Amino acid sequence: MTTLQILVDGFAISSLYALAAVGFTLIFGVSGVLNLAHGGIMLVAALVGWWVAGETPLGTYGGTLVGILAGLLTAYLTYFLVVRPIQRSKAIAQEEKEIFVLTGTLLWGIMIQTGMAYVFSDNPVTMRPLIPGVIAVMGVRTPINEVMIAVLCWVIIGLLWLLINRTPAGKQMLAASINPRGLTLLGFELSQIYFRVWTIYGVLAGVAGVLLASFLGVGTANAGQLTASAFSIVVLGGLGSVSGSLIAAYVVGYLETLTAYLIAPTLRPIPALILLVLVVYLRPQGLLGRR
Partner 1 sequence: MADSNDPVRPAHRILASAAVLALSFSIVGAAPAAEPIKIGVIGEESAVAGASITKAAQMAQDDINAHGGVLGRQVEVVIYDDHSSAADAVRAFQRAVSEDKVSAVVASYISEVALAIEPWAARLHTPWITPGAASTDISKAVHDNYATNKYTFHGWLTSAFIAQSICDFEHDMLVTSSFKVKSTVVMSEDAAWTKPLDERFLDCLPKAGVKVLDHIRFNPDTTDFTPIFNKIEGEKPDVITTGISHVGVQPTVQWHDQRVPIGMVGQSSQATTSTFWKDTNGAAEGVITASAAAPGVALTPTTVAFTEAYQKRFGASPAYDGYTTYDEIHVIANAIKAAGGTDPDKIVDAMEKTHYTGTVGTIEFYGKDDLYTHAIKYGQGLVTGVVLQWQSGKQVTVWPRDKANGKIAFPATITSPK
Partner 2 sequence: MTRAFNRRLLFAGVVFVLVATVLPLWLSAYVLGVLTTAYYFGVFSMSWDLLFGFAGEVNFGPTFLIGLGAYTAALLDNAYHPPVVICIAAGALAALVGGVLLALPALRLRGPYFGLVTLVAVLLLQNAIVIFARFTGGEIGMTVPDVLSVDPKLNYWYALAFFVVSAILLYGLSRSAVGLILQASGQDAVEAQALGFNVTKHKLAAFSVSALFSGVAGAMLVFYMGAASVGTIIDIGIGVQIIIGAVLGGRRTILGPAIGAIFLVVGTELLRPLGQLNTFVIAGIALAVILFFPDGLLGHVLRPRENT
Q: How many residues sit close enough to partner 2 to count as binding (CB under 8 A)?
A: 40
Residue 232 found at the interface with partner 1 (CB under 8 A): no
Query: What character string, x for contact with partner 2 (CB under 8 A) and - otherwise, covers 173-212?
Result: ----------------------------------------
The Cα–Cα gap between 53 and 88 comes to: 39
Question: What is the Cα–Cα distance from 244 to 19, expressed in whole angstroms?
Answer: 12
Nearer to partner 1, 194 or 250 (CB): 250
Binding flag, residue 232, partner 2 (CB under 8 A): yes
Residue 132 and residue 208: Cα distance in Å, rounded?
19
Q: How near is the Cβ of 166 to partner 1 at its closest, in Å?
A: 34
- Site map (CB under 8 A) of partner 1, residues 198-217, x = contact: ------------------xx
Rounded CA separation 251/275 (Å): 10
**Residue 288 interacts with partner 2 (CB under 8 A)?**
no
DSSP output for 89-158: -SSS-GGGHHHHHHHHHHHHHHHHHHHHHHHH-S--B-PPPSS-SEEEETTEEEEHHHHHHHHHHHHHHH
Provide the 8-state DSSP code for 263.
I
Check the CA dihedral 169-174-177-183 and report its sign.
negative
- Name the one range near partner 1 by CB under 8 A: 28-36, 81-89, 129-137, 154-162: 129-137
Residues 112 and 71 sit within 8 Å (Cβ to Cβ): no
Scanning 82-90, 137-145, 152-160, 234-242 for contacts with partner 1 by CB under 8 A, the matching segment is: 137-145
Cα–Cα distance, 41 to 37 (Å, whole number): 6
Among 270, 271, 287, 288, binds partner 2 (CB under 8 A): 270
Report the sign of the C-alpha dihedral through residues 121, 123, 226, 208, in that order.
negative
Query: Which of 64, 113 has the CB closer to partner 2?
Result: 113
54 belongs to the binding site for partner 1 (CB under 8 A)? yes
Among 8, 21, 26, 86, binds partner 2 (CB under 8 A): 86
> Which residue's CB is nearer to partner 2, number 122 or number 189?
122
Q: Is 9 in the site for partner 1 (CB under 8 A)?
A: yes
Q: Find the binder of partner 1 among 93, 96, 99, 141 (CB under 8 A).
A: 141
Residue closer to partner 2 by CB (options 16, 235) is 235
Q: For 178-218, give the secondary structure using H, E and C.
A: HCHHHHHHCCCCHHHHHHHHHHHHHHHHHHHHHHHHHHCCE
Centre a 10 Å sphere on the Cβ of residue 236 and count the other Cβ atoms it contains: 27
- Torsions phi, psi for 135 (to 5 deg): -135, 170
For binding to partner 1 (CB under 8 A), which residues are involved? 1-2, 5-6, 9, 13, 54, 117-118, 121-129, 132, 134, 141-143, 145-146, 216-217, 219-220, 222, 225, 256-257, 260-261, 265-269
In the complex, which residues of this chain contact partner 2 (CB under 8 A)?
34, 82, 85-86, 89, 91-92, 95, 98-100, 102-104, 106-108, 110-111, 114-115, 117-118, 224, 228, 231-232, 235, 239, 266-267, 269-270, 273-274, 276-277, 280-281, 284
